[in-house]
Structure 1
Amino acid sequence: MIAALSDNKALRRRLVAGSIAVLACGAALVWHGARSEASNATPAAPETKLVKAIAVAPMLGADTRTAVGEIRPRLESDLGFRVSGKLLERVAEVGATVRKGEVLARIDDQDYRNRLASAEADVAAAQAVLVEASAAEARIGALLTKGFTTRANYDATLKNLRSAQAKLKSANIAFEMAKDQLGYTELHAEFDGIVTASGAEAGQSVNVGQMVVRVADPNTRDAVFSIAEAAFANTPETKRPPKVTVSLLSNPAITAAGTIREIAPMADAATRTFQVKVSIENAPDEMRFGASVSGRAEGAGAPVVVLPGSALFDKDGKPAVWIVSPSSAVELKPVTVARYETDRIVVSDGLSKGDLVVTAGVNRLREHEKVRIVEGEGK
């Protein structure tokens, strides 16, 4: 009985060992077959990326520029006395309308009246000397003719006559100057206009040329703007200045047409901007001096390409876009961006009509990589 049990256990061990050997052999065959199948398989093709693209169609972009400025008179003069003195009265007040030749202010003229009286007396004295010298020349000349005097005496008399004539001429000039200076004690308007400012009050001593009254012509007005240098960067020298539409900031419905008449040749030292004066045609009354206005100039610009902002890519710190070639491969092409807007860019150079520009998925692309367009194809 014990011998039979021993024989059964030995048989069981041999069966288990055989089963394990069969399983191991089968697993080795399966693994070897898998390796053979894997080694004979073809490598998978690279994935073709899907992108969105649009066809380039250059268009003439409107070159619109705006600026804020103010209304100023085209003709404005600082009027002052041509002689110094004490200001007696200033007739014209700020805001008053004046006519050409109207008296605006007066200074104390007593000193100038005295000078005129002195000059008048000098003229009378010079006239008396001239009368005496003329009579002496006539007497000596008659004696010389008869031989009763010498030539030297006549020459001395003739010299006195000519000296008297010169002194009378000088006295007359001094008299006219004194009379003019007396007239300069009154300040007159040089043209019809409006008083916009004053620089002196009654009782104040004013110097020659000091501004007493500022007068502006209300019929000619300019809109004056300060424009940055970049605005002139792409403007050809021969290009005609565009028409400008000027409108009030407080009421944009009030507008007027204008023409650029003057561009400062030098930038302002503080602001580094150029002053541009726009002559306003038929300016409405609401555009008073000092009013804030907006100027808008529109002109036909060079052909540009408008792209979504998502199309822009950076290459070595410079703007570029991905172009889809006829072989469906992408190439990176540098471009020149004229300006950046909220959700789009305006390209001025670097693209040709018909180029397919990738507008989505630009950050996943590599040079010469194959792509497939899923939207915008053929546009």
Structure 2
Amino acid sequence: MIPPFLVALLGSAAFAAQADVPVVRIEAHPVMRAQPAEATIEAVRQSVLAAQVAGRVVELAVDAGDAVRRGQVLMRIDAAEAAAAVAGADAGVARAEADLINARAEYERARSLVERRFVSQSALDQARTRFDAAEAQLRAARAGRGQAATVQGYTTIASPLDGLVAARHIERGEMAQPGRVLLTVYDPTAMRALVDLPQQRIAELGGAAALRARIELPDRGRSIDAAAVTVLPAADARTHTVRVRVDLPAGTQDVLPGSFARVHFHSADASTQTAPVMVPPAAVLRRGELTAVYVVDGRGGFTLRQVRIGQAVGPQGEVEVLAGLAGGESVAVDPVRAGIAAQAAGPVAGR
């Protein structure tokens, strides 16, 4: 039998211990559920520059990681062959112009002779035909000259946008061929995440119009609200998934194309929200396979109660309680100190 003075002493110690343990009253409140999905970052504006003419690379002004401006010359291909083609086209134009002058003079002469009845009408017709042919030949020569000049312009590779060089695929002195990839340039101020979502998941979130997202960048340890979510109007016939583009806010720094991201989708529709019981993560005690919380028992002590928890879905990282706890109860935020208080109150309870 425990002496009365010891019971009173232990009881006062238990109440003092409970007073030192912070507690929180839990309630069921609506929480926006998120559906996580793995994603890949890509640049909204990216250009893969390829060669359009054959030739040796004679100048290479940039490397991977360099900042470039729109219109800046990045690379030059040997233009000797293209310059020779332009010179040949210029000579063709000069010859066609000379032929046209000669054909025009012959036509004017024939027309004068026909008026004085020195030659027949057929001679005039032949002169007219030669004149028309000379005009057509000049137009063809000028078109050929323009084509040769265009090809010569392909020997200079310029940046189509302001941004960074993501990769360089050729070395100086190597031979470029039409279609060979030379450089990859992207704009780092406009990035987005690409996700392939099952059609059913999009329907569960309220459809494409109600879709909202938050982008988690694990390597950077931060999360960013998406600027826009675009669901492409086509599904993959093999996987039955839909491609979703999730835009990052303009000017987001330190995000690299091809890097991993995690996108948390949720719906903007309030009807899709649930009202689970949430507890602070610090209140959950884990001991092996046991998951429990210390609940205020209303008699000045704490009771250890086993619970089944779900995922962290609250705004402050609160943990959802699936079973074992009801709204309106109070739990200890510090389970270690609550356990000490419960042990101190044990003899009183067993009196």
TM-score if structure 1 supplies the norm length?
0.60
Which of residues 190, 194, 207 is equivalent to 2:164?
194
Partner Cα separation in structure 2 for residue 212 and residue 257 of structure 1: 33
The 1:85/1:301 distance shift into structure 2, 3 A limit, reads farther
Task: Report how far residue 92 of structure 1 moved.
Answer: 1.9
Task: Report how far residue 201 of structure 1 moved.
Answer: 1.8
Q: Is 1:279 equivalent to 2:254 in the alignment? A: no
Partner Cα separation in structure 2 for residue 343 and residue 235 of structure 1: 22
Structure 2 equivalent of residue 265 of structure 1: 234
Structure 1 equivalent of residue 256 of structure 2: 288
Contact 1:256 1:282 in 2 (8 A): no
Which of residues 75, 85, 93 is equivalent to 1:123?
93
Partner Cα separation in structure 1 for residue 255 and residue 79 of structure 2: 41
For 2:256, give the aligned amino acid.
R
Task: Report how far residue 213 of structure 1 moved.
Answer: 0.6
Q: Is 1:205 equivalent to 2:175 in the alignment? A: yes
Structure 1 equivalent of residue 185 of structure 2: 215
**Which structure 2 residues correspond to residues 268-347 of structure 1 after superposition, within 5 A?**
273-299=241-267, 300-302=270-272, 344=322
Partner Cα separation in structure 1 for residue 114 and residue 185 of structure 2: 67
Task: Report how far residue 99 of structure 1 moved.
Answer: 1.1
Q: Is 1:155 equivalent to 2:101 in the alignment? A: no
**Which structure 2 residues correspond to residues 130-169 of structure 1 after superposition, within 5 A?**
130-169=100-139
The 1:121/1:251 distance shift into structure 2, 3 A limit, reads closer
Q: Is 1:80 equivalent to 2:31 in the alignment? A: no
Contact 1:109 1:182 in 2 (8 A): yes
The 1:248/1:182 distance shift into structure 2, 3 A limit, reads same
Task: Report how far residue 304 of structure 1 moved.
Answer: 6.4
Task: Report how far residue 230 of structure 1 moved.
Answer: 4.0
Partner Cα separation in structure 1 for residue 258 and residue 156 of structure 2: 29
For 1:234, give the aligned amino acid.
E
For 2:265, give the aligned amino acid.
A
Contact 1:247 1:254 in 2 (8 A): yes
Query: Highest Rg: 1 or 2?
Result: 1
Which of residues 99, 103, 110 is equivalent to 2:69?
99
Task: Report how far residue 164 of structure 1 moved.
Answer: 0.6
Q: Is 1:234 equivalent to 2:193 in the alignment? A: no
Partner Cα separation in structure 2 for residue 267 and residue 288 of structure 1: 26
Task: Report how far residue 192 of structure 1 moved.
Answer: 1.2
SS at match of 2:71: coil
Partner Cα separation in structure 2 for residue 272 and residue 283 of structure 1: 33
The 1:105/1:281 distance shift into structure 2, 3 A limit, reads same
Structure 2 equivalent of residue 245 of structure 1: 214
For 1:212, give the aligned amino acid.
L
CA-to-aligned-CA distance 1:149-201 (integer Å, 9 cap, x gap)? 11000100111111111101111111111111111111111111211112222
Partner Cα separation in structure 2 for residue 205 and residue 111 of structure 1: 14
SS at match of 1:78: strand
SS at match of 1:240: helix
Task: Report how far residue 108 of structure 1 moved.
Answer: 1.6
Task: Report how far residue 264 of structure 1 moved.
Answer: 6.7
CA-to-aligned-CA distance 1:220-268 (integer Å, 9 cap, x gap)? 110223334442243555x524332223213434534332124372338
Counting matched residue pairs gives 254
Partner Cα separation in structure 2 for residue 262 and residue 89 of structure 1: 43
SS at match of 1:212: strand
Partner Cα separation in structure 1 for residue 226 and residue 134 of structure 2: 66
Structure 2 equivalent of residue 366 of structure 1: none
For 1:259, give the aligned amino acid.
A
The 1:268/1:260 distance shift into structure 2, 3 A limit, reads farther
CA-to-aligned-CA distance 1:71-102 (integer Å, 9 cap, x gap)? 22111111112222222233221111111111
The 1:254/1:67 distance shift into structure 2, 3 A limit, reads same
Partner Cα separation in structure 1 for residue 181 and residue 261 of structure 2: 28
Contact 2:276 2:321 in 1 (8 A): no
CA-to-aligned-CA distance 1:326-371 (integer Å, 9 cap, x gap)? xxxxxxxxxxxxxx979749xxxxxxxxxxxxxxxxxxxxxxxxxx
TM-score if structure 2 supplies the norm length?
0.64
For 1:82, give the aligned amino acid.
Q
Which ranges of structure 2 fall in alignment gaps of 5 or more residues? Answer: 1-27, 278-309, 312-319, 324-351
Partner Cα separation in structure 1 for residue 263 and residue 46 of structure 2: 22
Partner Cα separation in structure 2 for residue 88 and residue 166 of structure 1: 38
Structure 2 equivalent of residue 110 of structure 1: 80
CA-to-aligned-CA distance 1:191-212 (integer Å, 9 cap, x gap)? 1121111222223222223211
Identical counterparts, % of pairs: 23
For 1:289, give the aligned amino acid.
P
For 1:69, give the aligned amino acid.
A
The 1:129/1:107 distance shift into structure 2, 3 A limit, reads same
